[in-house]
Amino acid sequence: MIDTLVEVSGLRVVARKEGVDTPIVKDVGFSIPRGEVLALIGESGSGKTTIALSLLGYARRGCRIREGSIRIGETRVLELDAEGLYDLRGRKVSYIAQSAAAAFNPMKTIMDQVVEGALIHGTSKRAQAEAKAVELFAALALPDPGGIGARYPHQVSGGQLQRLMAAMALITEPDLVVLDEPTTALDVTTQIEVLRAFKKVVRERGATAVYVSHDLAVVAQMADQILVLSDGEMREIGATADILERPAHSYTKSLLAAAAPQPRTGTAEAAETPLLEIHGLVAGYGRTGADGMPAVRVLDNIDLAIGRGRTLGVIGESGSGKTTLARVVAGLVPAARGTVLFDGKPLPTNLTERTREQFRRIQIVFQNADTVLNPAHDIERILARPLAFYHGVRGEEARKRIARLLDLVKLPAAIGSRRPAELSGGQKQRVNLARALAAEPDLILCDEVTSALDTVVGAAVLDLLAELRRELGVSLMFISHDISTVRAVCDQVVVLYSGCKVDSGSRKALAAPPFHPYADLLIASVPELRTGWLEGLPARLAVEAPAPGAGKPPAGLCTFLDRCPVRIAGVCEKVAPPRRALEGGKEILCHHTGAELEALQSS
Amino acid sequence: MTLARSGWRTAASLPIAGRVGLFFVVLWLVIAVIGPAIAPHDVGAVVSPDAFGPLSAAYPLGTDYLGRDMLSRVLHAARFTIGLALVAALAASLTGTSLALIAATAGGWADEVMSRLMDAFISIPSKMLALVMVAAFGSSVPLLILTAALSYTPGAYRIARSLAVNVKTLEYVQAARARGEGLGYVARAEILPNMVNPMLADFGLRFVFVVLLLSGMSFLGLGVQPPDADLGSLVRENIGGLFEGAPAVVTPAIAIATLTVSVNLLIDAISGRATRVAEP
């Protein structure tokens, strides 16, 4: 007999606005056997978090659980009164939120916060609880399990904090753990260590869990069952392998298709002189010192080139300096050293020295479409400004051009009279793109343009970019932290780590070793869309990210030194790595030769 | 038409305190405009043999210390108080906002010089400044407006600058700068529209401060000079009736109170989330 721990049936949640109820979860039902993990997957607005929260008997402000029943063990959650819910939450059902950084109180030590749940519910004495916490820290593969509890939240890394939150949730030995996008805010290389720890704990303790995510590949590693949601309705439920290999519903198929992006590169010929060339670029923030260097150096000695009609991918984790690179080219951050050549001529890195023509030819598309459109202007005004500013086009002609631009980015013309707040995220990103296109630029700097979007919407934006590139022949600098997107759209790829260019080469060169050790870590950390990927990872990837404040390696040495799994003792700590040219136009910054790296990484 | 309707809908959606505030604000504005026209008696005419006369059918608000009709006096005085305060508060808010926009967009030393100058200004108590100004130049309507505007410009500047600096760091402003837009356009089209609402709330509060400052000045006899009178002067000239409980001293005080309190109620209701400011 299968012991069913959780049973949900006929769940309906409504959102109330101005007296009208809009259903946001419609007739959802599922059951989870004890010791299994159910994944809720869907795009933003699909109701996955709402369902997860209703398992705690909680509805967000303005929402109400209308009908349905939820049973966890012997408890009927929706029939509980306030006191019953108090006993339930954190004791029988616990919750791990998306942002651990926001969930911890910065003023209290980690141990105080981890044992708090156990003390509130009186499940154990403080000494016992602390012993159990240390045990959990060890199980979650945290460094120094005995001492980490005495630290404050800002003294550990983001990935560690996420695991500490798991310890907080597990300390009362709850029947059910709800994980709400626990790795979405993390870098891929960090995500992997967190996933590993979660998986181990879930398996070892036989915990029952609900895992909420938008990322199928992550879910494939964690879940026994997957429930696919869209618009608050269940599309499909089934065992993980079945959903991944034999999706029945068309929506699941589109999700799967969007998760594995197809190459969208053009076939433009490389011209004789590159459109943009950067040599020995150094840039940063803060006061400039006596040597002309900024206090915080974000980019160090960067060289790169983008050909006409080509796409250059810039990839790296948060803090690697990729956004700063785009800002230097756009003129928002001055370069301390080095030259930027645009179309063969030097480009002033200061805003005030650039001509309007130079501004027109280089357009930047910022990451966050929510904040990049002025909320006080309507869409027509937003698009009309670059037309008037660069081309002097006004009146009827401008209206025609705006209609054409909206058509180009596949938006209805009626959208022109709306304000940004009335558009969806994908629509805003299209307007953002249309504004850049209005200038008829030669180079578009795309800074994480798909990161804030759902997979399916993001894929549509990528398609659009590829199409524009084909039709208009613009060059793109495509900045992303997501290697699969970069692979799909770029001809050339540059890998940044801590402000240094550690690896570069064509898209093909990025498909097989040898890589720079960081690029190797980055590529291997991207979850694959199959079960068992996490278990099959090679041991060289199990490197802990350093805690904040650990300090960078001394200047001049390899910036990846403290995380490098293949460093050469006695060499890497003393000598700066040479820039090596490998076969196929690849360039890496490493002491290892191409052959050595290839041997290490093919295992 | 649509404007009227949307205005009506806004009014209907206000909480009760806000509606009360709106009613009195509109009432006072109407009085300021048509007050003198509907006054039953001439403002300076001695119409009754009784000084400090009680409320009566002939003199609904009683009579003052000379036997003049209080209702007519209040209707005239309201125009002075509201008109002066409106002009001074507008001048203060407009100057403050413009300077703040220049400072925030230009940044660097321009911002530094202007901000320190305003800090110096803010350290002078507004009543002291007003007293010194009147002592030096004598009291007149333009001088009172100038004094009140000078006293409240630094406060408006401070609020506007902090709003502008915050808006300036937002990505749509960065996008405009990366497009190559001049500072003038950035300030006018990108920053200003996004700080108008809190600045309107600030304007309302500043209006109240100016009413209180001018009434205080008039009470001291340094404000609007006879034969003209504002609400503050009415309180002063009738202060002798205080011990008799004469309506002549109470009415103008109530007028000042309803005016200032209702403006505050209205602002609170309209912009619950806007930056609240204490008198600097």
Q: Is residue B101 pLDDT above 90, yes or no?
A: yes
Structural tokens at position B64: 């003052």
Instruction: Give the pLDDT band of residue B280 (cuts 50, 70, 90).
Output: very low
B273 vs A11, more confident: A11
Question: Which of chain A's residues have a Cβ under 8 Å away from the Cβ of B177?
Answer: 332, 351
Please give the pLDDT value at position A543. 62
Tell me which chain B residue has its CA closest to the CA of residue A327.
B178
User: A377 touching B, CB under 8 A?
Assistant: yes
Helix (H) or strand (E) holding A22: strand A20-33
Among B177, B180, B190, the residue with its CB nearest the CB of A374 is: B190
Beta bridge mates, A9: A69
Structural contact between residues B152 and B126, judged by C-beta atoms closer than 8 angstroms: yes
Structural contact between residues A1 and A7, judged by C-beta atoms closer than 8 angstroms: no
User: A366 touching B, CB under 8 A?
Assistant: yes
User: If you count them, how many residues does chain A have?
Assistant: 603
B88 vs A546, more confident: B88
Beta bridge mates, A225: A38, A239
Using alpha carbons, select from A555, A577, A549 the residue that is nearest to residue A564.
A577
Q: Is residue A496 pLDDT above 80, yes or no?
A: yes
Q: Is residue A26 pLDDT above 70, yes or no?
A: yes
User: A273 touching B, CB under 8 A?
Assistant: no
From CA A305, how far away is CA A602, in angstroms rounded? Answer: 30
List of residues 6+ apart from A96 with CB closer than 8 A: A162, A165, A166, A169, A177, A178, A179, A180, A182
Which one of A40-54, A451-465, B158-172 scores highest in mean pLDDT?
B158-172
From CA B79, how far away is CA A283, in angstroms rounded? Answer: 61
Please give the pLDDT value at position A265. 60
Please give the pLDDT value at position A133. 92
Please give the pLDDT value at position B278. 35
Average predicted confidence (pLDDT) for chain B: 85
User: B108 touching A, CB under 8 A?
Assistant: no
Question: For B122-139, how does the pLDDT look when each residue is reduced to its tens digit (9 = 90+)?
Answer: 888 888 888 888 889 988
Structural tokens at position A290: 């006596």
Residue B183 distance to chain A (closest CA, Å): 11
Q: Is residue A478 pLDDT above 60, yes or no?
A: yes
Task: Tell me the DSSP string of A472-519.
Answer: H--EEEEEES-HHHHHHH-SEEEEEETTEEEEEEETGGGGSS---HHH
Instruction: State mean pLDDT over B190-208.
Output: 88
Question: For A88-130, how does the pLDDT look when each residue is reduced to its tens digit (9 = 90+)?
Answer: 888 889 998 877 778 888 899 999 999 988 888 888 889 999 9
User: B190 touching A, CB under 8 A?
Assistant: yes
Structural tokens at position B82: 């509201």
Instruction: Give the pLDDT band of residue A547 (cuts 50, 70, 90).
Output: low
Least confident of A12-26, A213-227, A433-447, A544-558: A544-558
Using alpha carbons, select from B88, B96, B92, B89 the residue that is nearest to residue B195.
B96
Question: For A409-453, how does the pLDDT look when each residue is reduced to its tens digit (9 = 90+)?
Answer: 888 888 888 888 888 888 888 899 899 989 989 999 998 888 777
CB-side neighbour CA atoms (13 Å) of A334 = 13
Please give the pLDDT value at position A75. 86
Question: For A300-355, how does the pLDDT look when each residue is reduced to its tens digit (9 = 90+)?
Answer: 888 989 988 889 999 988 778 888 899 899 988 888 888 899 988 888 877 888 88
Question: Which of chain A's residues have a Cβ under 8 Å away from the Cβ of B181?
Answer: 389
Question: Which of chain B's residues have a Cβ under 8 Å away from the Cβ of A371?
Answer: 170-172
- Distance between alpha carbon A317 and the CA centroid of its chain, in Å? 9
Instruction: State mean pLDDT over B192-218.
Output: 88
Please give the pLDDT value at position A210. 93
Angle at Cα A549 formed by Cα A546 and Cα A552, nearest 5°?
A: 70
Using alpha carbons, select from B190, B175, B174, B179 the residue that is nearest to residue A376.
B190
Least confident of A12-16, A214-218, A228-232, B11-15: B11-15
Q: Is residue A44 pLDDT above 70, yes or no?
A: yes
Is B194's CB within 8 Å of A354's CB? no
Using alpha carbons, select from A377, A360, A387 the residue that is nearest to residue A428.
A377
SS3 A161: helix
Using alpha carbons, select from A347, A267, A339 the residue that is nearest to residue A308.
A267
Please give the pLDDT value at position A2. 59
From CA A403, how far away is CA A413, in angstroms rounded? Answer: 6
Numbers of helices and strands, H then E, in chain B: 11, 0
Structural tokens at position A469: 């590139």
Please give the pLDDT value at position B67. 83
Average predicted confidence (pLDDT) for chain A: 85
Residue B111 identity: D
Instruction: State mean pLDDT over A509-526.
Output: 83
Using alpha carbons, select from A580, A579, A561 the residue that is nearest to residue A571.
A561
Is A376's CB within 8 Å of B180's CB? no
Please give the pLDDT value at position B275. 35
Structural tokens at position B181: 């837009």
Residue A516 distance to chain B (closest CA, Å): 34
Is A386's CB within 8 Å of B175's CB? no
pTM for the full model?
0.78
Among B177, B193, B194, the residue with its CB nearest the CB of A332 is: B177
Q: Is residue A32 pLDDT above 70, yes or no?
A: yes
Among A351, A385, A435, the residue with its CB nearest the CB of B177 is: A351
Structural tokens at position B245: 């409980």
From CA B239, how far away is CA A511, in angstroms rounded? Answer: 92
What is the gyration radius of the CA atoms in chain B, in angstroms? 22
Among B170, B179, B194, the residue with its CB nearest the CB of A359 is: B179
User: A376 touching B, CB under 8 A?
Assistant: yes
Q: Is residue B219 pLDDT above 50, yes or no?
A: yes
Question: Which of chain B's residues have a Cβ under 8 Å away from the Cβ of A330?
Answer: 178
User: A330 touching B, CB under 8 A?
Assistant: yes
Q: Is residue B89 pLDDT above 90, yes or no?
A: yes
Mutate to test the interface with A, among B13, B105, B163, B171 (most CBs of A within 10 A): B171
A319: left (phi over 0), alpha (psi -120 to 50) or beta: left
Using alpha carbons, select from A452, A502, A443 the residue that is nearest to residue A473.
A443
User: B172 touching A, CB under 8 A?
Assistant: yes
Q: Is residue A60 pLDDT above 50, yes or no?
A: yes
| The CATH fold of domain B14-39+68-270 | MetI-like fold (1.10.3720)
B54: left (phi over 0), alpha (psi -120 to 50) or beta: beta
Is B178's CB within 8 Å of A364's CB? yes
Residue A355 distance to chain B (closest CA, Å): 8
Question: Which of chain B's residues have a Cβ under 8 Å away from the Cβ of A356?
Answer: 180
Q: How far apart are the first and last CA of chain B?
A: 40
Structural contact between residues A523 and A483, judged by C-beta atoms closer than 8 angstroms: yes
From CA A4, how far away is CA A210, in angstroms rounded? Answer: 14
Q: Is residue A251 pLDDT above 50, yes or no?
A: yes
Residue A551 identity: G
Please give the pLDDT value at position A450. 81
Task: Tell me the DSSP string of A398-413.
Answer: HHHHHHHHHHHTT--G
> What share of chain A has pLDDT > 70, as a percent?
94
User: A434 touching B, CB under 8 A?
Assistant: no
**How big is the A-B interface in CB pairs under 8 Å?**
51
Cβ burial A410-448 (10 Å sphere, 16+ → b, else e): ebeeebbeeebeebebbbbbbbbbbbbbbbebbbbbbbb
Tell me which chain A residue has its CA closest to the CA of residue B192.
A376
Instruction: State mean pLDDT over A200-205.
Output: 84
Instruction: State mean pLDDT over A564-576.
Output: 82
Instruction: State mean pLDDT over B245-251.
Output: 84
Residue A269 is given by DSSP the state: P
Question: Which of chain B's residues have a Cβ under 8 Å away from the Cβ of A331?
Answer: 178
Structural contact between residues A248 and A273, judged by C-beta atoms closer than 8 angstroms: no
Helix H segments across B123-239?
Answer: 126-137, 141-168, 171-178, 183-185, 196-219, 231-237
User: B178 touching A, CB under 8 A?
Assistant: yes
List of residues 6+ apart from A152 with CB closer than 8 A: A106, A107, A108, A109, A110
Cβ burial B247-264 (10 Å sphere, 16+ → b, else e): bbbbbbbebbebbbebbb
Cβ burial A244-275 (10 Å sphere, 16+ → b, else e): beebebebbeebbebbebeebbbebeeeeebb
Q: Is residue A173 pLDDT above 80, yes or no?
A: yes
Q: How far apart are the first and last CA of chain A?
A: 43
Q: Tokens 């630290």 map to which residue?
A: A151
What is the gyration radius of the CA atoms in chain A, in angstroms? 26
Question: For B161-170, how does the pLDDT look when each residue is reduced to its tens digit (9 = 90+)?
Answer: 999 999 988 8
Residue A373 distance to chain B (closest CA, Å): 5
Name the strands in the sheet holding A294-306, side by side, starting at the edge strand that comes first in the sequence: A294-306, A276-288, A335-342, A345-346
Least confident of A282-296, A403-417, A425-439, B26-40: A282-296
From CA A182, how far away is CA A165, in angstroms rounded? Answer: 10
> What share of chain A has pLDDT > 90, as a percent?
17
- Domains belonging to chain A, first-starting first, are 4-259 (3.40.50.300), 276-511 (3.40.50.300), 517-601 (no CATH)
Angle at Cα A378 formed by Cα B275 and Cα B189, nearest 5°?
A: 60
Question: Which of chain B's residues have a Cβ under 8 Å away from the Cβ of A443?
Answer: none
Beta bridge mates, A212: A40, A180
Residue A413 identity: A
CA distances from residue A201 to A142, A207, A270 in whole angstroms, order as listed: 12, 8, 52
Please give the pLDDT value at position B273. 39
Residue A551 distance to chain B (closest CA, Å): 29
Please give the pLDDT value at position A380. 92
Which one of A579-588, B28-37, B149-158 scores highest in mean pLDDT?
B149-158
Among A359, A366, A374, the residue with its CB nearest the CB of B180 is: A359
